[in-house]
Amino acid sequence: MADQQLRDIYAVIERYAVPLLGRERTSSEGLSKEENRILALQNVNRLNQRIGFLAREKVTNSRDMRILQTYVNSLTIGLKSDNTAQMKAALSNIRNFLFEFDSEEQDTH
């Protein structure tokens, strides 16, 4: 099963990143686009730290963690450059990866 902390951190990232995909100047929480971007990037950093921890802890998953890291790096670039298409793709890839990772883990047990 994918690490619960990975999914929890991803949910927080999504909460702050999704408003950046729209045209509204503020999110439903009343945060500006820049505040959402900063909070998303802070949580991307948390996700990167967790991925690194899991890659070191469970060497068998290091390949999967490298793939996930690539998607997270793409999200970081999208957030920093305000590239909406890249953010959408990266968020989708991360979500799908975490779901597939869960499915694969369940199939092996």
Overall number of domains in the chain = 1
Query: What pLDDT shows up at residue 30?
Result: 87
pLDDT tens digit at each of 109 positions of the chain = 468 999 999 999 999 999 999 877 667 778 999 999 999 999 999 999 999 988 888 766 788 899 999 999 999 999 999 999 999 999 999 999 998 866 555 555 4
Q: Which of 72, 70, 88 lies closest to 17 in space, CA to CA?
A: 88
How many CB atoms within 10 Å of residue 108? 6
CA distance 67 to 22: 27
Chain-centre distance for alpha carbon 99: 12
Q: Give the position of tokens 């469970």.
A: 58
Pair 19, 28: CB distance under 8 Å: yes
The pTM score is 0.85
Write out the residue range of the structural domain in which residue 43 sits. Answer: 4-108
Query: What pLDDT shows up at residue 22?
Result: 86
How many CB atoms within 10 Å of residue 48? 16
CATH of the domain at 10: 1.20.120
